[in-house]
């Protein structure tokens, strides 16, 4: 199983974003994780489609993976597609019409994912699993970078992985929150193949951190 590292720019110093994105690109990091927060679904506000469009002008080739922590995802989807987003993950807890929201994402030509908060059961994706490119298991409560990984989420990753195998579903399992050099191998062992890393990627030397994370996966 090939494992993907997805740096979350929430962990970056926003004054250095252009430079950091170039460093990631030079080290062949294929994807940028973009945390969109509305101050309503989560108690924090980040950025939206206009700012993402500016980042798109810095890199043409990195996959832009938007993680929407917002109450009204539907109203953002067309603008995210226009901003150059390749992949959108919405929260199951925030989308009462999940089938429709996922259909809209697909119709806009983007990949679709569903994120599950720590206390949300994996049953949430049961009837839409075949539509998904990704399921995101939150390993912290969403809203802020730099929080501590919730150890009980390892069982949830394994449960989702087992369900995925049983049903021969094609989505990848992404994890997000509190991932560091000490636990990355363990989340992979439990079935995660797409690892979002915020503060542990951008604190200190970005180049060294990229190399250390890739080495930890060998």
Active-site residue identified among 20, 35, 65, 194:
35
Work out which of 143, 160, 174, 209 binds ligand DX5, going by CB under 6 A.
143
Q: Is 7 in the site for ligand DX5 (CB under 6 A)?
A: no
Specify the residue, 100 or 148, whose C-beta has the smaller distance to ligand DX5: 148
Specify the residue, 25 or 141, whose C-beta has the smaller distance to ligand DX5: 141
Could you count the other beta carbons within 10 Å of the beta carbon of residue 4? 17
- What is the contact surface with Zn ion in residues (CB under 5 A)? 35, 67, 176
Q: Which residue is nearest to ligand DX5 (CB)?
A: 198
Selection from 66, 15, 7 nearest residue 199 by Cα: 7
Tokens representing residue 99 in the block: 């089938």
Asked whether residue 144 is marked as a ligand-binding residue, the answer is yes
Work out which of 102, 128, 179, 192 binds ligand DX5, going by CB under 6 A.
179
Active-site residue identified among 20, 65, 133, 176:
176
Asked whether residue 123 is marked as a ligand-binding residue, the answer is no
Q: Out of Zn ion, ligand DX5, none, which partner does residue 111 contact, by CB within 5 to 8 A per kind?
A: none
CB of 205 to ligand DX5, least distance (A): 16
User: Where is the binding site for a divalent metal cation, in residues?
Assistant: 33, 35, 67, 176
**Which residues of this chain interact with ligand DX5, rule CB under 6 A?**
8, 10-11, 33, 35, 67, 140, 142-143, 145-147, 176-179, 196-200
Give me the active site residues, please: 35, 176
């Amino acid at each position: 199983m090939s494992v993907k590292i997805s740096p979350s720019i929430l962990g970056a110093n926003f004054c250095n974003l252009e430079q950091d994105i170039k460093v990631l690109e030079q080290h062949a990091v294929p994807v940028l994780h973009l945390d969109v927060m509305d101050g309503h679904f989560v108690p924090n506000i980040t950025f939206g489609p206009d700012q993402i469009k500016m980042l798109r002008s810095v890199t043409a080739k990195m996959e832009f993976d938007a993680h929407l922590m917002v109450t009204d995802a539907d109203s953002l989807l067309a603008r995210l597609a226009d901003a150059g987003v390749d992949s959108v993950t919405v929260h199951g807890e925030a989308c009462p019409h999940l089938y429709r929201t996922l259909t809209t994402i697909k119709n806009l030509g983007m990949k679709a994912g569903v994120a599950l908060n720590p206390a949300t059961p994996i049953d949430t994706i049961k009837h839409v699993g075949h539509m998904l490119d990704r399921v995101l298991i939150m390993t912290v409560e969403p809203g802020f970078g730099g929080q501590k990984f919730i150890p009980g989420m390892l069982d949830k990753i394994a449960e989702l992985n087992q369900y995925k195998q049983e049903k021969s579903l094609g989505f990848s399992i992404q994890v997000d929150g509190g991932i560091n050099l000490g636990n990355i191998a363990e989340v992979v062992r439990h079935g995660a193949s797409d690892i979002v890393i915020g503060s542990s990627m951008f604190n200190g030397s970005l180049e060294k951190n990229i190399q250390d994370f890739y080495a930890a996966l060998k």
